[in-house]
Structure 1
């Protein structure tokens, strides 16, 4: 993912960007609970995995700009900062927050969880909401196309120019869904188990372009693939925007409490401030339509 320092240099990164976070359906956003929290949202009444401690899950490595230096507990990076801001709203000091390592797809798989909530660029989808609960969205996202400078894709100015392009993308991601639903290439995309494999395929010219979320695209071009560029960005769909949400064990009473915290962070402008600090603007990533 994108290093914040690189974002400052590049003057880029979308306040609204689309996630590489895996998902199967982004056309509708499920209900995320009540906007006002019950009395049980007082800190000492919260039902937690560990009494007196708020346990937050995320994957490892924890990529930038979502987390900085692969250290979620330092409060740096967009999702780390958001997580601690939510914790503060719930009455927790930073020292009362525990971080658990949770594999990405395990976060939204059926079953009991080791965390109170998880933040890991997980897109809210109806299919996922059947087995886990989500908070309100804390980030709205877009997809991006990355190609090598001088390639046939580098000069593309619209989605139509991508129809005959060999695209690399990670399996199970909203990026893959966006390729199929929005770009609709004539050839099947090359699908990889890990994002780094898709990136390496671009580097080795095994694919013409990769599709990832916009924040990741800036990291790919700045740190992973020399002589590459962001061709442009595009929305996954024309309906409800895709969002990242905190993930909860199904039936968690904490959902409404976190929703109230997100409401407060939104209305106070703090969420926008965090977004601006760690994600910057979308300069340099034109819209592909």
Structure 2
């Protein structure tokens, strides 16, 4: 996924390319050196950039709902909360986490890194794995439903209510697959070659709703269509999302095993789900449709 600004989009932001493509099978050798767990995941044994400190990177500005008030260190927002939850599982107190700025594009460029991991809505792709290493996924991208305020479907609470809607979607995306499999609309979805064409169709009231991945939905409502809202998000599809975000490390990082262990614990305990519910469902105004 291409990261986009959301709630605080700057004037003159040019429409971005939004196509979401399913991840192909991983190159078995691409992350081989990063997949092995170190002998110990205690702070004094982990290969850290700074002894006793966990250095975490993200972009600036850091946008909602991923971060709050452009301050990754406050623990608020989905990715800030995830970073501190991972740190806690690794034995780091909040004041032992050091944040630094790293632009989205440069984060997955080849070469050494000055951070232990980067958290910045970075999708795991085979191409990126040739240059950097990723942890297991901490967020499977779901599909969001966008409508105009006051529109017929603006207050929909169930997937069934969308069956009669005129739906805009981009060709070749996971959103199109989700519309067909999860909504099954009575009228065939209106398929557009580009995301901006689909966005304009909703803006011009040629359709009732727009279906895009949830990160894009936040951007559409914040920066592209005034008077629009996220109606909700489709329930997770069986088997999880086809696109997921991972913690990014330099290629060959010895931290991968420890990060995967921490993420696994957060998933099995239900803590990761609670963080997602708080920051990407409740406060972000994107309830899961029934």
TM-score by length of 2: 0.67
- Report the CA distance between 1:109 and its aligned residue: 2.7
Q: Name the CA distance, whole Å, in 2 between partners of 1:39 and 1:186.
A: 51
**CA deviation string 1:70-125 (max 9, x = no partner):** 10011111211111121122222222211121212222232222211111111222
**CA deviation string 1:214-261 (max 9, x = no partner):** 266357547975432336645898766232211111111100011111
SS in 2 for 1:68: coil
Residue 280 of structure 2: aligned partner: 279
Residue 115 of structure 1: aligned partner: 115
Residue 90 of structure 2: aligned partner: 90
Q: Does 1:72 align with 2:72?
A: yes
Residue 12 of structure 2: aligned partner: none
Aligned length: 256
Cα pair distance change 1:26/1:35, threshold 3 Å: closer
Q: 2:23 aligns with which of 10, 13, 26?
A: 26
Cα pair distance change 1:36/1:142, threshold 3 Å: same
Q: Name the CA distance, whole Å, in 2 between partners of 1:88 and 1:284.
A: 28
The answer as to whether partners of 1:36 and 1:260 remain within 8 angstroms in 2 is no
Q: Unpaired segments of 5 or more residues in structure 1? A: 4-19, 168-174, 193-197
SS in 1 for 2:272: helix
Q: 2:162 aligns with which of 139, 151, 157?
A: 157
Q: Name the CA distance, whole Å, in 1 between partners of 2:175 and 2:54.
A: 37
Residue 139 of structure 1: aligned partner: 139
Q: Does 1:99 align with 2:96?
A: no
Q: Name the CA distance, whole Å, in 2 between partners of 1:115 and 1:216.
A: 27
Residue 264 of structure 1: aligned partner: 265
Q: Name the CA distance, whole Å, in 2 between partners of 1:21 and 1:270.
A: 30
RMSD: 4.4
Q: Name the CA distance, whole Å, in 1 between partners of 2:258 and 2:268.
A: 16
Moved more, 127-136 or 268-277: 268-277
- Report the CA distance between 1:204 and its aligned residue: 7.0
Cα pair distance change 1:122/1:95, threshold 3 Å: same
- Report the CA distance between 1:269 and its aligned residue: 2.7
- Report the CA distance between 1:159 and its aligned residue: 11
SS in 2 for 1:43: coil
The answer as to whether partners of 1:22 and 1:123 remain within 8 angstroms in 2 is no
- Report the CA distance between 1:212 and its aligned residue: 4.6
Moved more, 175-184 or 65-74: 175-184
Q: Unpaired segments of 5 or more residues in structure 2? A: 8-16, 180-188
Moved more, 218-227 or 39-48: 218-227
TM-score by length of 1: 0.67
